[in-house]
Amino acid sequence: MISMKRLLALIFIFVGGLMPTLAQTPILPDFYADPSARAFDGKLYVYPTHDLPGMTNWNEVDWHVFSTDDMVKWTDHGVIFSLKDITWATNLAWAPDCIERGGKYYFYFPAGNQVGVAVSDSPTGPFKDALGHPLIKKGEAGIQYCIDPCIFRDDDGQAYLYFGGGRKIGVVKLKSDMITRDGPIQVLEMPEYYEGIWIHKRNGIYYASYPTRASRKVNANVMVYSMAKNPFGPWQYKGAILDNHSGNIHGSITEFKGQWYLFYHFAAPDKRERQVAVERLSYNDDGTIKPMQMAKNNPRSN
């Protein structure tokens, strides 16, 4: 007769075998990275960095947007903005973000280690440079890498623009026009932060998710997070969400049709070409995020 302890162990193994594991299957064609996912009017839009096949540096030049209404079929709306559309930078078209306000769509993008903003009447563009100059200039507030913008609008309507890299992160309030700064840049204390900040809010709790990096010899391949009760912090470090054993990771957390998702990218350790993947995200009763595990047979889990 099987013991209760043995029975519970078998049940645990069986249920554990049914739990979903990460396949890291690309959802977008070709090579894209740094997916910023946003829900607008019943559709989900992903604004990624556009990697170039065979590239040997990070000198991307334009941005696409993809949309879906079922998380299965994705539509590529083509180039919505590029370095050709601005006069103040000529390189480093990296991780963007987008938000809607008052029927307008505001596209925040890094270029030349600075942050700009473009505007459109549609989430699929085309977008037009709203200022003709950077919204955030390189080196402001002592932040050398003014990259990876994340735009967050709180329940009261106040908008916050987060940005930064190289272990330094800044945030500045924006006025309701979404293109004018409202006060000084504040430098935040963000535990284990390296780059790629993403802010979301759930049940009154603010979450900051971002890649970490143990040293300059180790790639930023672990997505971690911190929690706070205020958009400025203080931020309490909670640990890893996902270690995808890749050469690089960066992503976003978004709710769509009642389900939370983590969008991220992965890459072979010896290549710069990256691809976008998505996984369902779950929370514990105390609001912490349940960490994810990759499948053991995934070649990048070794």
Note whether 109 and 159 are same-domain residues.
Answer: yes
Amino acid at 257: K
Note whether 152 and 260 are same-domain residues.
Answer: no
Note whether 202 and 141 are same-domain residues.
Answer: no
148 belongs to a structural domain: yes
Note whether 252 and 175 are same-domain residues.
Answer: no
Length of the chain: 302
57 belongs to a structural domain: yes
Q: Which residue has the tokens 């996984």?
A: 279
Contact of 40 with 46, CB cutoff 8 Å? no
Final residue before a domain boundary, out of 157, 185, 213: 185
Q: Residue 214: give the domain boundaries.
A: 188-302
Domain count, the chain: 2
Contact of 142 with 168, CB cutoff 8 Å? yes
Note whether 209 and 268 are same-domain residues.
Answer: yes
Each residue's pLDDT expressed in tens, for the chain with a length of 302 residues: 455 444 444 433 333 444 446 768 899 999 999 999 999 999 999 999 999 888 778 889 999 999 999 999 999 999 999 999 999 999 999 999 999 999 999 999 999 999 999 999 999 999 999 999 999 999 999 999 999 999 999 999 999 999 999 999 999 999 999 999 999 999 999 999 999 999 999 999 999 999 998 766 566 779 999 999 999 999 999 999 998 877 789 999 999 999 999 999 988 666 678 999 999 999 999 999 999 987 654 444 44
The radius of gyration computed from the CA coordinates of the chain, to the nearest angstrom, equals 19
What would the DSSP string read from start to end of 37-67? EEEETTEEEEEEEE--TT-SSS---EEEEEE
9 belongs to a structural domain: no
Q: Is 114 strand, coil or helix?
A: strand
Instruction: Give the CA angle between residues 41, 108, 116 to the nearest 5°.
Output: 150
Note whether 180 and 51 are same-domain residues.
Answer: yes
Note whether 168 and 54 are same-domain residues.
Answer: yes
Final residue before a domain boundary, out of 134, 150, 185: 185
* pTM beyond 0.75, yes or no: yes
Which residues are the active-site residues?
34, 195
203 belongs to a structural domain: yes
Q: Which residue has the tokens 């083509």?
A: 78
Note whether 133 and 194 are same-domain residues.
Answer: no
| CATH for 121 | 2.115.10.20
Note whether 85 and 147 are same-domain residues.
Answer: yes
